[in-house]
Structure 1
């Protein structure tokens, strides 16, 4: 959900939609489709109205940000591993990716990523 202004009508619409979702998601429990039905976006919505009252409208914030980070931090590493001790492997992969990103920033600051290997070699040889 993205909007610039949150009015009382918007808050009522959010609550109505949330109530509707919780009413109809029970069918998944009844049919035993999944044992625990707690999607991140829908769960975060349970706190949304309270947080709007506390802090105001989250201008420009979108719940898809969480999903995007989840894909990078969980789904992509999960597909690159053997799935044994998956959480440990995902944490190590994310730690290494963070270190690589920090190294890239450092290398850019030092000018180490300017040019290509052949052009740098030719420049060093004075050609």
Structure 2
């Protein structure tokens, strides 16, 4: 009877979702989590037979098989979500696109992100005295890339020095 198999599939994936959201995981809850996933996989072919789903080669569905191990390694998954990476991706994409001249923007965006990363890494190396236990890392070779259109055009030298705390800007220039 196909209807009962569909209910088993729906219930197993819902149960999996509820077990995965528990704030505290125990051996029993992790076993139940794995059991619900096993039940789902054992019965999911009914969705193919009913032409609900053509295949199950879905990355998010595959990720479910790693939940038990991830929870055992990193703790309860109740606060795991993709909101922060999604917003970071959006912010970095918008910022890097606006910094480009809108032609061959993908390469310019990649270079802009490399520059931002270099600045971040450099700012971390400035605080080495605060973290003496970190291993000494060879400095990266700097690559100088200039944008065709500046992000902040028409700024006076004094504004650059003040806004970026670049006291050695004129001598370096």
**Does the alignment reach a TM-score above 0.5?**
no
Q: Comparing both structures, which one devotes a greater share of its residues to helix? A: 1
Q: Relative contact order, CA 8 A, sep 6+: which one is greater?
A: 1
TM-score normalised per structure 1: 0.44
**Which has the higher Rg, Structure 1 or Structure 2?**
2
